[in-house]
Amino acid sequence: MFRARCILGSAAWRLHNSCSLVIHPSSRMCAAPHSVAAVCQVTCTPDKQANFSACERLVEEAKERGASMVFLPEGFDYIGSSREETLSLSESLTGETISRYAQLARKLLVWLSLGGFHERGHDWERDRRIYNTHIIMNDKGDIVSVYRKSHLFDVELPGKGVSLKESGFTIPGPSLVSPVQTPIGKVGLGICYDLRFPESSLALRRHGADILTYPSAFTVATGAAHWEVLLRARAIETQCFVLAAAQVGRHHEKRSSHGHALAVDPWGQVLGDCGGESPGLVLVQMDLDQVGSTRRNMPVQQHHRDPGFYLSLEDA
């Protein structure tokens, strides 16, 4: 079972469902046709075939329920139990895993956000290092955007049982990438730990993003403390929708994830929450008119001072 939390206009309610939930806009909204997004939650392991089967079922269900774009989390391909296993299972963008997702996109005529693929680095034969890569794939199976995670999770929290050093085997991405036009709107790409760096989200907003997405595998400890509040903050400060697919539950004996895949609107309200127990998805009917009206009514971006103003403390 997973829990979805929905806010429709001024009325809030909770629902328990064994599968998924369609979130309808209030009567005053007028979403464009074919603008349903599916935000997924899975429990991936080192078993790549089992992971693909689980994600395939979610993508098929999302398509059956009207989604035109499906968001999968960081580590959708696998979550390894050691550095050695993580590296040995990695592939290139032309490998079997991405080829299978391309076939799935073509078969179902659905766009995919594949958020956190273990991509072998450009100098793999020499240094055995990888990128953490977010891929946007269109309904023809073509890769239309590739973003490589730029902020790596090197964190030691002894009191909370968190010890990860992503930079030990991962290359930081060289840059942000421009938001990409999709059937649900213009999507700006991040991955997991990038969520903690508002400079990135604001840059994507300035370059036209309507939607920000943060596919993630948040730890249980950091997720319980920070996950929802960070996602809502990114939505509020950019006045974008925020869609965050997530890993949930126990991946192997060394690692578990917080779950709670979320969809947040430009006002910062949580539209859907997959809960913290099991795989599932939420379906959200996107309303880009809400992005425009929120920005008109509270024109935060127009109130920004020139960049030099924010550097004035450093000069002083």
* Residues designated as active site: 74, 149, 192
CA distance 44 to 279: 10
Residue corresponding to tokens 């880009």: 288
Q: What sign results for the dihedral spanned by CA atoms 153, 154, 156, 162?
A: positive
HEC profile of the chain: CEEEEEEECCEEEEEEECCEEEECCCCCCCCCCCCEEEEEEECCCCCHHHHHHHHHHHHHHHHHCCCCEEEECCCCCCCCCCHHHHHHCCECCCCHHHHHHHHHHHHHCCEEEEEEEEEECCCHHHHCCEEEEEEEECCCCCEEEEEECCCCCEEEEHHHCEEEEHHHCECCCCCCCCCEEECCEEEEECCHHHHHCHHHHHHHHHCCCCEEECCECCEHHHHHHHHHHHHHHHHHHHCCEEEECEEEEEEECCEEEECCCEEECCCCCEEEECCCCCCEEEEEECCHHHHHHHHHHCCCHHHCCCHHHHCHHHHC
Three-point CA angle 86, 92, 96, nearest 5°: 90
Amino acid letter, residue 83: R
The tokens of 79 are what? 């979550």
Asked if 51 and 279 count as a contact pair (C-beta separation under 8 A), the reply is: no
